[in-house]
Structure 1
């Protein structure tokens, strides 16, 4: 810190002046570097916001890993309610980056994301996303055909399955997609027709 005021301005300018010597001094260079660093990092509030945003992004990536594991079970028709937790445990062990295990360690006891409730909600969410994508492709298709089949199961319930064949606008190929399986009270033509129309709306 300066304890004596600078009064002789005649010696200040020039290459050998006091200002130039101060400019080249170590203390001045350190002060300039610190100022530049603070300007780049922003305020304390901005730094905290950046840390929170990075943490949110990291949590989203880890939750994406959980969804990938759950989708693997769904796709291969494996019992997700019993295999989900062991699968996550295996993924944590083979994850050499330790990011997944760190994510679980940071989770609260009531939010470990390895419960049957979590994997069931993931299944429902995945189903909704797939349904929306299929319906979008069906709406984009110029030509569709509706296929329905009525049958009675072993418990004597009358069921109606509905499928739609449409032209995939991306590939130009004919595609069949299962839409729904519904229980119906009667199996007459009018009931089946009304059920199909209501479901497709």
Structure 2
């Protein structure tokens, strides 16, 4: 081959011609070390995926989003409506509400944290509040005021039911309600129910429902409800009576009246009617007392 002149263009041409007849370069098979390193890279990528937030989760859970500043996942609905709800924060430990969710390895699956939150009581409550919020935007002011009033009534009933359950517990366990009602609320109930405590703090000092008089009134109301229910159930029924007279620890004569009757379904039921003091234990006094109690409840025992 003749000597080439020092020309860049010719040099590129001759270099291309020199490589025409060269055999194709066949890549050598990967060594075992390279294969192992590739598998390790795949495993690392898989592990990193399990320990990182996946954007595609938001397709299945439209309430989910990632907060870059806080470095974790949150629920948009719960964060908006439950951030000041102490009961919800206590149940969930604030996860998805004010504390970022970062346990991505356990996020998905049938027992995953995302599905568990979606089916939780807190999330359902937040969705309901969000629905009311969206609905209220299109309502007139007076309608919103009525709805707010109804919401307050419902909240008052929920809170007051706690007092009823407390009195009922004391009565059922034969614990003196006049002396143990207030300690039960202060030392047990209010420490476990932050929302009830906040509600009570908004009430006036004269209507905080902590006194023994409240417990007595609640018991009287329970008695009235039971009497009305039992009287309605016993009307127009064939019934039998059982009365038992005894003396209590104060040496006062008392009588217990129990009624047995047949329900509409054919089931036989026994019902405690009342316990009352007797002025005497002779037959006439007992008969008059039974007659008076039955007539007071409009029960016919002549059948």
With normalisation by structure 1, the TM-score equals 0.68
1:23 corresponding residue in structure 2: none
Please tell me whether the aligned partners of residues 161 and 182 of structure 1 are also in contact (alpha carbons under 8 angstroms): no
**Aligned partner of 1:105 among 187, 201, 217:** 201
Gaps of 5+ in 2: 1-133, 296-303
Q: Do 1:160 and 1:182's aligned partners in 2 also have CA atoms closer than 8 Å?
A: yes
In 2, the alpha carbon distance for the partners of 1:192 and 1:37 equals 63
Q: Could you say which residue in structure 2 is the equivalent of 1:196?
A: 290
| Pair 1:54–1:156, CA change in 2 (3 A) | closer
Task: Report the counterpart of residue 117 of structure 1 in structure 2.
Answer: 213
Residue equivalent to 2:61 = none
SS in 1 for 2:235: helix
In structure 2, the partner of 1:129 is 225
Q: Distance in 1 between matches of 2:286 and 2:196?
A: 49
Structure number with greater Rg is 2
Aligned pair in 2 of structure 1 residues 168, 82: CA closer, same or farther (>3 Å)? farther
What is the root-mean-square deviation of aligned Cα atoms in Å?
A: 2.7
Q: Secondary structure at the match of 1:41?
A: coil
SS in 1 for 2:207: coil
**Is it true that 1:78 corresponds to 2:172 in the alignment?**
no
CA–CA distance in 1 between the matches of 2:135 and 2:169?
Answer: 46
Q: Any idea what the Cα deviations from partners look like across 1:43-76, whole Å, max 9, x if unmatched?
A: 3x33333323222221111111221222122222
Structure 1 spans left out of the alignment, 5+ residues: 1-35
**2:268 is the alignment partner of 1:173:** yes
* Alpha carbons of structure 1 residues 155 and 118: separation in structure 2 relative to 1, 3 Å: closer
